[in-house]
């Protein structure tokens, strides 16, 4: 699938002029990040990196990714409700991975206190993003394969809503108005806000707020503001607080309603708390307080655990999907069609065999720890060294092995502040945003709400936009 946008350009000079126009349009549309020099201030901002041209994506794969998103929503929700499955699946991991163990301890404590069954009216909210790449199959045709599902702080819904206008502009400058019209409208921030608004409404207190748990150094604030602004348009007020402020000023009343600075909180939306470095002792106490409250958590801790790599690997085992989604063979088939090869590294014969296969053919595998946020995976020689060290240690149980997806590269131009404008070989990753709301046992909302395409140069094995590797893009359906 070679893209031919480059053939529309006469020379280097035209490429640079087009890039200048694209950057100006991105700034005008609000495709913005704070700078790495001033991550706490919006006084100086820059454009978020993006591709000069939209990247070609087969329509059939885009449709497949959208069609399976509601199944993934149901699956994540089913896993989060199945305490026995979570305990069994994570048993080996929590022995060796301190971060997952601490999350699991909170999960157990909350279950013991009976908050998950706080009342039949308890509301659960999931805002997730399922990410895929296009595996180049033996006959050369691309196949949709899931990389991971993000169940906490799934980002870039706000900025993804603003990039279609930029690529339409670029194609219009090149007098390609018919092609410009093919770029899909996309507004994930509106759909994500719709889920938060539904959970807020079901909580049932008109004066209660939405609490957004924010990081101190948040470069991606405009992405979050897009969701906040959608909520404000519905007359739902959002307050931003760090974990530290919750431990100092958060409290529960006798009904376990959550108050922060004296204001009742209906929904807690986490844009922090997915990496070990984001927790001090004080922050762990704040997380427990939030979890014990009857506010709607997005996600609650069980849903965060449902997004771990270990759970992803267990779900690929024969019979697991059927057990979690009984009587839904079509959903199971759609889900399974997107699974890449996933292998346990638990102590024992199965784990030994997986390690032996990876050491024999390292280019076919990726080693993944239980981490979110991009930039954590090991490939090639790095993976080989890690596996040799881990081989005889129980610590290997904190990782999984995954088949390496090999998409067919294509040409595009990645625009980054301070970088030269040049055409490079790239690969893309497609994310679909999903929203669900459950009240008691009833799923009252289950939908897909938009997409995110990220593209990176082929020399970068791992990492997303926030990690400074991938850039924002739009799918051009073909």
The catalytically annotated residue of 30, 55, 80, 148 is 148
Indicate if 438 belongs to the active site: no
CA-CA distances (angstroms) from residue 19 to 50, 158, 167, 448? 10, 22, 11, 32
Indicate if 454 belongs to the active site: yes
Indicate if 285 belongs to the active site: no
The catalytically annotated residue of 218, 230, 372, 429 is 372
As a residue count, the chain comes to 478
What are φ and ψ of residue 276, in 5° steps?
-55, -35
The catalytically annotated residue of 153, 155, 187, 247 is 155
The catalytically annotated residue of 55, 73, 80, 150 is 150
The catalytically annotated residue of 162, 198, 438, 454 is 454
Cα-Cα-Cα-Cα dihedral sign, residues 459, 461, 463, 467:
negative
Which two tokens mark 8?
A: 């529309």
Instruction: Of 157, 136, 88, give the one whose Cα is nearest residue 317.
Output: 88
Angle between helices 59-81 and 83-96 (to 10 degrees): 90
Instruction: Of 365, 348, 430, 356, give the one whose Cα is nearest residue 400.
Output: 365
Indicate if 148 belongs to the active site: yes
The catalytically annotated residue of 34, 241, 287, 368 is 368
**Rounded to whole angstroms, how far apart are CA atoms 426 and 404?**
16
**Rounded to whole angstroms, how far apart are CA atoms 192 and 128?**
9
Residue at token pair 């294509």: 410
Indicate if 59 belongs to the active site: no
Indicate if 241 belongs to the active site: no
The catalytically annotated residue of 25, 129, 162, 396 is 129
The catalytically annotated residue of 25, 225, 309, 404 is 309
Beta-strand ranges (E) seen in 275-422 are 296-298, 342-344, 365-369, 399-403, 410-415
Beta bridge mates, 432: 130, 451
The catalytically annotated residue of 6, 341, 373, 375 is 373
Which two tokens mark 239?
A: 């307050």
**Rounded to whole angstroms, how far apart are CA atoms 268 and 133?**
31
What angle is formed at CA 386 by the lines to CA 382 and CA 387, rounded to 5 degrees? 115
**Rounded to whole angstroms, how far apart are CA atoms 466 and 462?**
12
Indicate if 218 belongs to the active site: no
Indicate if 368 belongs to the active site: yes
**Rounded to whole angstroms, how far apart are CA atoms 400 and 369?**
7
**Rounded to whole angstroms, how far apart are CA atoms 208 and 196?**
13
Cα–chain center distance at 452: 10
Indicate if 291 belongs to the active site: no
Q: Which residues are catalytic?
A: 129, 148, 150, 155, 309, 368, 372-373, 454
């Amino acid at each position: 699938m070679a893209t031919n946008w480059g053939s529309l350009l006469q020379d280097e000079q035209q490429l640079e002029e087009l890039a200048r126009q694209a950057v100006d349009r991105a700034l005008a549309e609000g495709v913005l990040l704070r700078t790495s020099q001033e991550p706490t201030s919006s006084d100086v901002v820059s454009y978020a990196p993006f591709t000069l041209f939209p990247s070609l994506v087969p329509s059939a794969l885009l449709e497949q990714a959208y069609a399976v998103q509601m199944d993934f929503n149901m699956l994540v929700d089913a896993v989060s409700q199945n305490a026995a499955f979570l305990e069994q699946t994570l048993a080996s991991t929590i022995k060796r991975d301190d971060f997952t163990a601490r999350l699991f301890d909170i999960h157990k404590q909350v279950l013991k206190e009976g908050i998950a069954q706080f009342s039949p009216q308890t509301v659960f909210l999931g805002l997730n993003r399922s990410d895929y790449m296009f595996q180049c199959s033996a006959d050369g045709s691309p196949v949709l394969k899931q990389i991971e599902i993000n169940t906490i702080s799934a980002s870039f819904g706000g900025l993804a809503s603003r990039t279609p206008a930029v690529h339409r502009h670029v194609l219009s400058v090149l007098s390609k108005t018919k092609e410009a019209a093919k770029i899909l409208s996309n507004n994930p921030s509106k759909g994500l806000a719709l889920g938060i608004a539904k959970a807020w409404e079901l909580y049932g207190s008109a004066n209660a707020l939405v609490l957004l748990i924010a990081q101190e150094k948040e470069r991606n604030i405009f992405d979050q503001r897009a969701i906040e602004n959608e909520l404000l348009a519905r007359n739902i007020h959002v307050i931003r607080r760090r974990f530290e402020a919750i431990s100092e000023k958060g409290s529960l009343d006798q009904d376990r309603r959550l108050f922060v600075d004296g204001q009742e909180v209906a929904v807690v939306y986490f844009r922090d708390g997915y990496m070990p470095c984001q927790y001090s002792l004080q922050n762990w106490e704040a997380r427990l307080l939030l979890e014990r409250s009857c506010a709607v958590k997005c996600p609650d801790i069980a849903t965060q655990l449902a997004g771990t790599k270990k759970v992803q690997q267990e779900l690929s085992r024969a019979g697991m999907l059927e057990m979690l989604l009984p009587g839904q063979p079509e959903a199971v088939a759609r889900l399974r069609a997107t699974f890449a090869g996933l292998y346990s590294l638990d102590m024992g014969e199965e784990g030994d065999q997986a390690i032996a296969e990876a050491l024999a053919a390292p280019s076919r595998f990726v080693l993944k720890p239980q981490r979110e946020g991009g930039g954590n995976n090991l490939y090639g020689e790095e993976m080989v060294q890690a596996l040799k060290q881990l081989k005889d240690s129980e610590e290997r149980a904190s990782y999984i092995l995954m088949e390496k997806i090999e998409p067919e590269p294509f040409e595009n131009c990645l625009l980054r502040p301070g970088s030269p404008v040049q055409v490079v070989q790239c690969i893309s990753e497609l994310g679909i945003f999903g929203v669900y709301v459950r009240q008691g046992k009833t799923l009252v909302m289950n939908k897909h709400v938009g997409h995110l395409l990220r593209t990176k140069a082929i020399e970068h094995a791992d990492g997303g936009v926030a990690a400074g590797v991938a850039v924002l893009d739009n799918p051009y359906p073909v």
